[in-house]
A and B are shown apart, each in its own frame.
Chain A
Amino acid sequence: MQLEYFLLLGAALFCIGIYGLVTSRNAVRVLMSIELMLNAVNINLMGFSNFLDAGEIKGQIFTVFVITVAAAEAAVGLAIVLAIYRNRDTIDMEQFNLLKW
């Protein structure tokens, strides 16, 4: 096993997340794509922690912090989606232009 495998896997997952973030029209799917990107970052951190820093595993600490922030982000993001849905009666990302002009 090598470090490069995990880094390539993380890069692939990150790119899939970006594609979903930009192209999806459902607001909930955008949140799912953000979760994918955060998980890609976690894979990178864990790979570095295991292969370059096996003595004191600081990468795992950072991964735990990222998991914490991701949970908070999911809660707030879904609350925002619910509030917008209640006001605008749609979850189409193309129609969320409140701050556009």
Chain B
Amino acid sequence: MTLAEGVQIVSFGILAIMMLGTALGVVLLSNIVHSAFLLAGVFLSISGLYVLLNADFVAAAQILVYVGAVNVLILFAIMLVNKQEDFSKIPGRWIRDAATAVVCFGLFALLSTVVLITPWAENTVSPAVIENTVVTIGEHFFSDFLLPFELASVLLLMAMVGAIILARRDLIPEPVEKQETIATSLTLPERPRELASLGDSTD
């Protein structure tokens, strides 16, 4: 990185404040659509941090995959389950929230203590920064990380097939006549699934 030290510090501070602010907004805001757009802000700030860490390829991949794919997918999910429902009040819920906040703060204190007291073996004379990270990453992918690289493609295929199967409507071959189910203690409160026969594909 050819930037001066002061420029790096200032841009790191701006990006860190942006990232933490938008992350808190994602978690704390009540409107889910605002949260989804703030999530894009988190991803963009993290991409800027990657640029500060001399990783141009991963920064570009972060923007492409997270902002371009994952965030749009989340926005689609919000539109598909667009239901304005007021969650029923649960007594004593603030106790759970407070306990969770305490636990998270304690975890952060623990992690920061570990980070600060560990003597990182940081080589002060840094070796020459790799000029072209794309070439290096490609060499790693096709030599010593070849098997995980291929397995990742299989994983993506499995996830795609699984998502399609989970999200499609169920096709039930023949419409069975409605039978009144006796509500026992084991009956789940599901609404009756609309029956679609295999013959008509109007859906």
Partner of A31, one of B74, B87, B103: B74
Contact check, A1 vs B104: say whether CB atoms are below 8 A apart: no
- Name the residue on A nearest B126 (C-beta): A54
Stretch in B36-44, B173-181, B195-203 with 4+ CB within 8 Å of A? B36-44
Main secondary structure of the interface of B (DSSP, over half): helix
Contact check, B137 vs A57: say whether CB atoms are below 8 A apart: yes
Number of contacting residues on A, CB 8 A? 77
User: In A1-16, which residues have CB < 8 Å from any B CB?
Assistant: 1-9, 11-16
- Name the residue on A nearest B190 (C-beta): A87
Q: List the interface of chain B (C-beta within 8 A of A).
A: 5, 8-9, 12, 16, 19-20, 23-24, 26-27, 32, 35-36, 39, 42-43, 46, 49-50, 52-55, 57-58, 61-62, 65-66, 69-70, 73-74, 76-78, 80-81, 83, 85, 87-88, 90, 96-97, 100-101, 103-105, 107-108, 111-112, 115-116, 120-123, 126-127, 129-130, 133, 136-137, 140-141, 145, 148, 152, 155-156, 158-160, 162-164, 166-167, 169, 188-191, 193
Q: What 10 A-B pairs are tightest by C-beta distance, nearest first?
A: A72-B159, A20-B27, A79-B166, A11-B111, A79-B167, A79-B163, A50-B53, A15-B108, A75-B163, A78-B77
Contact check, B133 vs A68: say whether CB atoms are below 8 A apart: no
Partner of B39, one of A25, A35, A89, A94: A35
CA distance A11 to B57 in the complex (A): 24
Distance of B131 from chain A, by nearest CB (Å): 12
Most central of B32, B58, B127 by chain A CB within 10 Å? B58
Q: List the interface of chain A (C-beta within 8 A of B).
A: 1-9, 11-20, 22-29, 31-33, 35-36, 39, 42-43, 46-47, 49-52, 54-58, 60-61, 63-65, 67-76, 78-83, 85-92, 94, 98
Contact check, B53 vs A46: say whether CB atoms are below 8 A apart: yes
CA distance A31 to B71 in the complex (A): 11
